[in-house]
């Protein structure tokens, strides 16, 4: 017989850490430059991981199996085993009710706060986020670092990648690794697709205008999802694709810019040096020039949701493809 102790029934979990809230609040109140100064003062560890939840219980079993489900009947469940009387779990969806039990005990429930994006911890990787939670569905679009080489997916990370997140397609945007990989580091259940891309003003060069079409075609295919897209650190090339997808979903400009800037919470962005405020900032020269060029494809003052669609259309991406992407990723009420 197992007795559940924590969390209490009906508990509300904030999956954002104090540091993540502080950064977002600083950006909202004082601007990104103040946010980057905040990061410099607090840069002592990876800040991109979500808050986790401690499950505590009592019993006399030699081993315990924690089951967590979004369904009250536990018809779809994630399991975690331990010999201790406690276990810590994370990566919960935002604005979601969960049910949990241990060794088949009576179930309790807890919920998470709504928001966007969803920070994630995948062991061995950095800077991982689910860009859903606002207008985009959760659990279908993930951005982050590479899976091998500088950052390396561990066995625990593979479980998260494949079992918890259910990723079906790995979109590798790296030019430097093109043709050098035969399979995904996550295993054979994940399809590896290598489609090199470049960031910032390079996207307007003819060779990269051509390169965006197959990337958009991948996102137009409903069988691709869930998709994990990445470059090396999940910052720049990855940031361009995340920006396009958020714009196509209709996110407002501030949400789009903030998603780009949240890379600052990762130690990958540890290149923040004295005098380098503005790094991965909406105010940085390379990013602001990129945004200005994007907006030139639409009417003056147009939001990115309009400008990005106009830019992608000019690259030869059919309107039908963009409509399919929107249908695949936007939440329905």
Domains in the chain with CATH codes? 3-8+52-112 (no CATH), 116-329 (3.90.190.10)
Overall size of the chain counted in residues:
333
Of 140-154, 175-189, 265-279, least confident by mean pLDDT is: 265-279
Tens of pLDDT, residue by residue over 268-316, are 765 544 444 456 889 888 899 999 999 999 999 999 999 999 999 999 9
Q: What is the mean pLDDT of residues 29-52?
A: 86
Tens of pLDDT, residue by residue over 65-90, are 999 999 999 999 999 999 999 999 99
Average pLDDT value over all residues in the chain: 93
Local structure of residue 330 (DSSP, 8 states): B
Tens of pLDDT, residue by residue over 224-271, are 999 999 999 999 999 999 999 999 999 999 999 999 999 989 887 655
Q: What percent of the chain has pLDDT over 70?
A: 96
Which residue is associated with the tokens 């709504």? 114
Whole-number Cα distances in Å, 27 to 39, 83, 120, 272, 273: 11, 43, 21, 16, 19
C-alpha 34/C-alpha 49 separation (Å) is: 21
Element (H, E) at 169: strand 169-172
What angle do the packed helices 253-261 and 18-30 form, to 10 degrees?
Answer: 130
With a cut of 80, say whether residue 125 has pLDDT above it: yes
User: Got the DSSP string for 42-103?
Assistant: H-SS---SPP-EEEEEE---SSEEEEEESSTT-SS-EEEEESSSEEEE--PPTT-EEEEEET
């Amino acid at each position: 017989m197992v007795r559940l102790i924590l969390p209490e029934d009906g508990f509300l979990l904030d999956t954002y850490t104090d540091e993540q809230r502080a950064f977002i609040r600083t950006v909202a109140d004082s601007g990104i430059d103040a946010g980057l100064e905040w990061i410099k003062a607090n840069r002592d560890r990876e800040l991109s991981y979500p808050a986790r939840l401690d499950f505590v219980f009592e019993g006399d079993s030699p081993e315990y199996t924690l089951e967590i489900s979004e369904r009250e009947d536990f018809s779809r469940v994630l399991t975690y085993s331990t010999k201790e009387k406690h276990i810590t779990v994370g990566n919960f969806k935002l604005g979601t009710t969960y049910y949990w039990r241990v060794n088949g005990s009576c179930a309790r429930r807890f919920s998470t706060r709504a928001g966007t994006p969803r920070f994630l911890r995948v062991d061995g990787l950095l800077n991982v986020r689910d860009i859903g939670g606002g207008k985009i569905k959760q659990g279908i679009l993930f951005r982050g670092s590479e899976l091998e080489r500088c950052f390396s997916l561990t066995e625990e990370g593979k479980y998260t990648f494949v079992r918890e997140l259910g990723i079906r397609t790995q979109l590798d945007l790296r030019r430097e690794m093109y043709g050098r990989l035969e399979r995904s580091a996550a295993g054979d259940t994940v399809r590896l697709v290598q489609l090199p891309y470049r960031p910032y003003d390079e996207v307007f060069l003819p060779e990269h205008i051509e390169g965006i079409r197959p990337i958009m075609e991948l996102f137009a295919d409903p069988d691709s999802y869930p998709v994990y897209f990445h470059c090396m650190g999940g910052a720049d090339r990855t940031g361009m694709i995340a920006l396009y997808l958020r714009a196509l979903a209709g996110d407002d400009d501030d949400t789009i810019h903030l998603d780009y800037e949240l890379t600052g919470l990762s130690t990958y962005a540890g290149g923040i040096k004295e005098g380098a405020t503005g790094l991965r900032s909406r105010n940085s020269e390379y990013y602001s020039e990129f945004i200005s060029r994007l907006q030139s494809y639409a009417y003056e003052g147009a939001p990115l949701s309009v400008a990005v669609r106009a830019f992608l259309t000019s690259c030869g991406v059919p309107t039908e493809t963009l409509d399919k992407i929107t249908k695949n990723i936007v939440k329905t009420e």
